[in-house]
Chain A
Amino acid sequence: GENVEQHPSTLSVQEGDSAVIKCTYSDSASNYFPWYKQELGKRPQLIIDIRSNVGEKKDQRIAVTLNKTAKHFSLHITETQPEDSAVYFCVRDMRFGAGTRLTVKP
């Protein structure tokens, strides 16, 4: 299966700051790059995805960027709010990254 590395494992930011989470993958078999958010006690839910024919996709405060040459894709959250606090996962070929626990301090 696909090997995906996710960093950082934890991230703490002040409300209003930006947060960036990065995933590095080992091959480019799939052209689909999703990110999921999992709040405590809940199921993972898709927050944004991108396909490899574009380099960036934005949805309000959330964006995903893709660098196929360097084989990494990143999640960007701007103007963070306390409700953004959760664990975020990148996924490649059905395999989840190890997750990043984001804490937004009010």
Chain B
Amino acid sequence: DTGVSQDPRHKITKRGQNVTFRCDPISEHNRLYWYRQTLGQGPEFLTYFQNEAQLEKSRLLSDRFSAERPKGSFSTLEIQRTEQGDSAMYLCASSLTDRSPLHFGNGTRLTVT
């Protein structure tokens, strides 16, 4: 079990640029989740996938955010036209079922300047 891996670990970008993050879940896990966490706050749910299907997306998520999981394995999260308020830690997690533990990656820290 190599765990959940995320790439890159850190990303610094200028306001207005697009960024894309990648998450590789634990191989046998069907469910994949994206969260955003800012300092002093809990992880905020963004979206999740069951295999390749995106089943729920937070209504707090603007249309600048899009996520894909094309083959039901790795996932990408893209943020278009980044804003300073997008600066946060983006966490990916995976789980076997909806009633099993979330396994988190180390996250991608985004800084928008």
**Interface on A for B, CB 8 Å cutoff?**
1, 30-32, 34, 36, 43-46, 49, 51, 87, 89, 91, 94-99
Which of chain A's residues have a CB closer than 8 A to the CB of B107? 43
Contact A95 B45 (CB under 8 A): yes
Contact A96 B101 (CB under 8 A): no
Which of chain B's residues have a CB closer than 8 A to the CB of A46? 101-102
A99 in complex: contacting residue of B35, B41, B98, B106, CB < 8 Å: B41
Q: Given A34-B101, A43-B91, do A1 and B43 touch, yes or no (CB 8 Å)?
A: no
Tell me which residues from 55 to 89 in chain B have a Cβ below 8 Å from any Cβ of chain A. 56, 58
**Beta-carbon contacts of B24-66 to A below 8 Å, as 1s and 0s?**
0000000001010000011111001000000010100000000
Tell me which residues from 98 to 113 in chain B have a Cβ below 8 Å from any Cβ of chain A. 98-99, 101-102, 104-107
A-B contact pairs, 22 of them (CB 8 A): A1-B56, A30-B98, A32-B99, A36-B102, A43-B91, A44-B91, A44-B102, A45-B104, A51-B99, A87-B42, A89-B43, A91-B102, A94-B33, A94-B48, A94-B56, A96-B42, A96-B45, A97-B42, A98-B41, A98-B42, A99-B41, A99-B42
Contact A43 B106 (CB under 8 A): yes
Which of chain A's residues have a CB closer than 8 A to the CB of B41? 98-99
Which of chain B's residues have a CB closer than 8 A to the CB of A94? 33, 45, 48, 56
Which of chain B's residues have a CB closer than 8 A to the CB of A45? 104
Query: Closest CB-CB distance, B78 to chain A, in whole Å?
Result: 21
Contact A44 B43 (CB under 8 A): yes
Contact A96 B43 (CB under 8 A): yes
Most chain B beta carbons < 10 A, residue from A89, A94, A97: A94
Which of chain B's residues have a CB closer than 8 A to the CB of A1? 45, 56, 58
Query: Closest CB-CB distance, A42 to chain B, in whole Å?
Result: 8
Most chain A beta carbons < 10 A, residue from B35, B42, B106: B42
Contact A89 B99 (CB under 8 A): no
**Complex: A97 Cα to B42 Cα, angstroms:** 7
